[in-house]
A and B are shown apart, each in its own frame.
Chain A
Amino acid sequence: MPKPNIIRFWHGLLRLLVTVVVILGIFGLFLWLMGRDPIKSYRDTFRLNLLNPRGLAEVVVRMSPLLLTALGVAIPFRAGLINVGAEGQFMMGALLGTWVALNLPGLSQSLHLLLVILAGMLGGAVWGAIPGALGWANETITTLLLNYLAPLVVGYFVFGPWRAPELAMYPQTPEFPPSARFPMFFPGTRMHLGFFLGLFFLLAYGYLISRSRWGLELRAVGGNPEAARRLGIPVERWIVGAMVLGGALAGLAGIAEVAAIHGRLKMAISPGYGFMGFLVNWLAFANPIGILIMSFLVAFIASSGFTLQLTQRLPYAAVNVLMALILFTVLAKPFAKGVRR
């Protein structure tokens, strides 16, 4: 009898491919509805965002935070939780990482970076732990509220005690020292360490979730908490743990975005990466390869948004509408019924 993993693998892949095709179809339909020429639009985006090396690199740059925030949603999802707080965890990771970046001068880059990364993960982890630990285990409301508290906390610091003295268009912190900046690769692009970190954690997730003992237990908690309890698995601890892990990765996405792209903490560091991560996870059914593909796809859509803003004068807001349409479609399909964790 053939190994099940292979069957599942192909089945999952097929489902992903169909979803991708459907999404591209919706994209085209949407463009047509907006009065733009879909063929030309596709040509533009393919030419500029896929075939052009720099354009492609930009897509990958946008993909980096998505990989991590999607994981931030995927891990709790496997435990049966729905984490809508990636947005807030993203910002708190950026916040704590910023503090470490700005307040520990004179370190070597590798050490400073390590600390910055750890601080980012810690910020997100704490923000994820709060809802997890609030005894009555309701992660929806609390993650939502914390989502809204987070930018206010960041704003307080950015507009207040951490504000850079020099004048700028809008408030921001001073620039990070070079030792705290994420290194970039492939000169001429903005591809940075965050991408590789994202890949690393994605691979780790993919491996651990299906091949490790801890992944098995986590999935059991999400699959049948009653049975898991009877088998001796400490369910409550896993729930908090999953939120902590998810928060940590979303927090890492936050500090990566700041330390690599912006170089300083400001208010507008996330065009909704947390929510987009939720979308990616939903499209990918928490499957690691799916997350890779869907992160790329969503990043592609986002980049296309910017491209089409230039070539077709399509307002970027259309991208949000498109993502909504995609999510509506996925939710309405029969596929959505048998969501596996």
Chain B
Amino acid sequence: MSNTDKTVVRLVGITKRFPGVLANDHVNLDLYPGEIHALLGENGAGKSTLMKILYGFYRADSGKIYVHGQEVQIRSPLDARKLGIGMVFQGFALIPALTVAENVALFMARLPRVLRPHNLHRVVEEASQRYGLELDPNAPVWQLSVGEQQKVELLKLLLAQARILIFDEPTKVLVPHEVEALFRVFAELRADGYSLIFITHKLREALACADRITVMRQGRVVGTVRPAEATEETLVNMMFGEHLAEVSRPPHGRNPGEPVLELRHVHAPRQGIAPALEDLNLVVREGEIVGVAGVSGNGQRELGDVILGLLRIAKGRKIFRGEDATRWPPRKLIRAGIAFIPEDPLGMAVVPWFSVLENFALLDPSRFSLWMGLRLSWARVRDSLQRGFARLELTPPPPYARAATLSGGNLQRLVLGRELSRPYHLVVGLYPTRGLDVRSANAVRQALLCAKEEGKGVLLISEDLQELFSLCDRLVVMLRGRIVGEFRPEETNVTEIGRVMTGTGVVHA
């Protein structure tokens, strides 16, 4: 590389493949000193992977990394830190039981043998004041708010003498005024000559804070622009792709019938860092597919849990086919006819070392039990499995194979067959096609369409806008635990939904 290269970091041709997905496809990126660079894109675009490669968490399959003009090999976070690169992850790498000072000290380059809290605290306070972080060195981390914890992470980086700072979705867990405070800190750091990259999906923030914005989509860089040259419109198009606007409409079936599921003013409390659900109103009718769009982490999983009876409803009601099901336990809801297709079948729906048959039988085993449950009729299970899969026109996985040995697609097929082969009235799909190969994903979509044809209600929670547009009759958008808009796909387009998802659009009544 020539000596006139003024960049502090340059990524050239970075390619990274994971099983089944190409996360980064010949990505180029450069970063100048004293710059705030935003890496913008929707989920799954490959931004996080790219930065993790820079930080040494992953190794790229091909491509080169240059730091200050020199080519480097970054094999581990230790290498990255030696080069002055630091990263603040989404789930912080903080030890809750230790104090702020202790957490920071752990990552400091040179630590004295005997710790004098006095000195340590002084160092922490100085740095904290320099950048307006306002942290109490003596406070145990578990007492801090999420915004404050993020500041501790930043302090760690600074005191470990990093000069290149990477932030993964730093504003995801912050409230607006905390976001402003964070951007002021960024500005201070920039003035001191630090170089920052922050990953985000919120284009307003990118526009507000960054010097340059690089947009990624599906593993590729779409382009790099300055905020002055870009508008929200252009950015959204770059993020979601204009050509997606033309997508096949769902075939018009019968008119939807009676409501299968109603959520009325449902409130569910916060669990850890997940958002609370607030004032949720949702209706799914027989013979319709309702889609839930939104950036993942805005309450979609909680919505699924609430419907399945796994999360307690604090206020509001849940009506299933006309009956108040607010307090029903999961088993009752399953028996009443709710089917669930999860995002991660291995973790959420099957027992890994059970055979396919055993996993099949696990859903409401009372169907197959004789003698009050003392005996299971495996003949009935086999029969039910074969007939069920035949009816769904799916090939069943080998019945005696252990679930852990199946591919993601086969696992999802197993779940589909299991859930949809018994009488049901509502299917809830939570990112059901995530991580699947094309054929399996299509099988899932086909199954959902069939369910609709048969007059069942379908709730599809997905991040894939193309999928939502091609399958759904109605579309709602979730943001921060609320439903912020309801649309008919034929009356809107991907761009508009994208804006609502990222909080930049106008809320529809």
Contacts and interface: CB of A to CB of B under 8 A. Distances in A.
Q: Do chains A and B touch in the complex (CB under 8 A)?
A: yes
Interface of A: 1, 3-4, 208, 211-214, 216-217, 219-220, 223-224, 226-234, 340-341
Contact of A217 (B308, B342, B365, B374): B365
Contacts of B351: 219-220, 223-224, 227-228
A230 B359 CA distance: 13
Given A208-B374, A212-B376, A230 B330 contact: yes
A223 B354 CA distance: 8
B376 A226 contact: no
A211 B332 CA distance: 24
Contacts of B355: 4
A217 B364 CA distance: 10
Contact of A212 (B347, B353, B362, B374): B374
A71 to B, nearest CB: 18
B240 interface: no
Contacts of B308: 230
Interface in B347-362: 347-355, 358, 361-362
> Max chain B CB contacts within 10 Å: which of A208, A216, A234?
A216
B303 to A, nearest CB: 14
Contacts of A220: 351, 354, 362
A211 B365 CA distance: 12
B468 interface: no
A11 to B, nearest CB: 12
B373 interface: yes
A213 to B, nearest CB: 4
B356 to A, nearest CB: 10
A216 B376 contact: yes
Contacts of A227: 347-351
A232 B352 CA distance: 17
Interface string B203-240: 00000000000000000000000000000000000000
Contact of B334 (A223, A224, A232, A341): A232
A226 B375 contact: no
20 contacts: A3-B400, A4-B355, A212-B369, A212-B374, A213-B366, A216-B358, A216-B376, A217-B362, A220-B351, A224-B350, A228-B362, A229-B330, A230-B308, A230-B342, A231-B330, A231-B334, A232-B329, A232-B330, A232-B334, A234-B331
B29 interface: no
Nearest to B342: A230
Given A234-B331, A340-B353, 11 more contacts: A212-B373, A212-B374, A219-B354, A224-B352, A227-B347, A227-B350, A230-B310, A230-B340, A232-B334, A233-B331, A233-B362
Interface string B115-134: 00000000000000000000
Given A212-B373, A227-B348, A230-B340, A1 B353 contact: no
A75 to B, nearest CB: 16
B368 interface: yes
Contacts of A228: 351, 362
B363 interface: yes
> Max chain B CB contacts within 10 Å: which of A211, A231, A341?
A231
A34 to B, nearest CB: 41
Nearest to A223: B351
Interface in B310-364: 310, 329-335, 340, 342, 347-355, 358, 361-364
A213 B373 CA distance: 5
B398 interface: yes
A4 B355 CA distance: 9
Contacts of B352: 223-224
A239 to B, nearest CB: 16
Nearest to A226: B348
Contacts of B373: 212-214
Nearest to B331: A232
Contacts of B330: 229-232
A223 B349 CA distance: 11
B459 to A, nearest CB: 16
A224 B362 CA distance: 12
Interface size class of B (residues with CB under 8 A): 35 or more
> Max chain A CB contacts within 10 Å: which of B331, B354, B362, B369?
B362
B367 to A, nearest CB: 10
A338 B354 CA distance: 14
Contacts of B335: 232
Contacts of A232: 329-335, 364
Contacts of B340: 230
Interface in B81-102: none
Q: Which 7 A-B pairs have the closest CB atoms?
A: A232-B331, A223-B351, A4-B400, A213-B373, A213-B369, A232-B330, A213-B365
A230 B331 CA distance: 9
B334 to A, nearest CB: 5
A150 B332 CA distance: 40
A226 B351 CA distance: 9
A150 B68 CA distance: 69
Contacts of B369: 212-213
A211 B335 CA distance: 22
A230 B348 contact: yes
Contacts of A216: 358, 361-362, 365, 376
B370 to A, nearest CB: 9
Nearest to B369: A213
B349 to A, nearest CB: 5
A82 B355 CA distance: 24
Contacts of A217: 362, 365
Nearest to A217: B365
Contacts of B376: 211-213, 216
B331 A226 contact: no
Nearest to B378: A211
A230 B333 CA distance: 11
Contact of B362 (A4, A211, A231): A231
A70 B213 CA distance: 64
A302 B464 CA distance: 64
Interface string B147-177: 0000000000000000000000000000000
Nearest to B374: A212
Contacts of B358: 216
Contacts of A231: 330, 334, 349, 362-363
A220 B363 CA distance: 11
A108 B352 CA distance: 51
> Max chain B CB contacts within 10 Å: which of A3, A227, A229, A340?
A227
B388 to A, nearest CB: 16
Contacts of A226: 347-348
A214 B365 CA distance: 9
Interface string B367-408: 011000111100000000000000000000010100000000
A217 B374 CA distance: 12
A228 B329 CA distance: 13
A160 to B, nearest CB: 44
Nearest to A215: B376
A232 B367 CA distance: 14
A338 B115 CA distance: 43
Nearest to A4: B400
A213 B368 contact: yes
A229 B310 contact: yes
> Max chain A CB contacts within 10 Å: which of B333, B334, B352, B374?
B374
